[in-house]
Amino acid sequence: MDASVVAAAAAVTEISLFKVLTYMYRSRSLRYYESRTDTECKGEIDLAEVESIYTGTPTLGAPKNVDERSFFDVKTTRRVYNFCATDPFLAQQWIDRIQNCLSDA
């Protein structure tokens, strides 16, 4: 899967504020960046640690004008990452593509 498959989305930070981040798939991890032009990643989600991916619900600080079906969570051995796509269709694409990455390993 090429790096552009997983693009921009919103993720919950440690302080429960939603931020728009750019995600890139590289070497069995999702690395996240503040913008598409950043060269250094802010962090990464190790796909080897993913326990489950499921549809989520809006959390504190979530965008208010987004369909509830646009939220999904990625649970790892260390924490749960809360995501918000722009619409339910895109959320399902994210879920499917991350699951494909997990099954390709």
SS (H, E, C) 21-58: EEEEEECCEEEEECCCCCCCCCEEEEHHHEEEEEECCC
The pLDDT tens digits for 14-73 are 333 456 666 667 678 888 888 778 888 888 889 999 999 999 888 777 778 888 898 999
The pLDDT tens digits for 93-102 are 889 988 888 8
Q: How many domains does the chain have?
A: 1
In this predicted structure, what is the pLDDT of residue 16?
A: 39
Residue 31 lies in a domain: yes
Range(s) of the domain holding residue 47: 8-103
pTM of the model: 0.74
Q: Does residue 21 contact residue 33 with C-beta atoms inside 8 Å?
A: yes
Residue 1 lies in a domain: no
Q: What is the CATH number of the domain that holds 44?
A: 2.30.29.30
Mean pLDDT, residues 70-93 taken together: 90
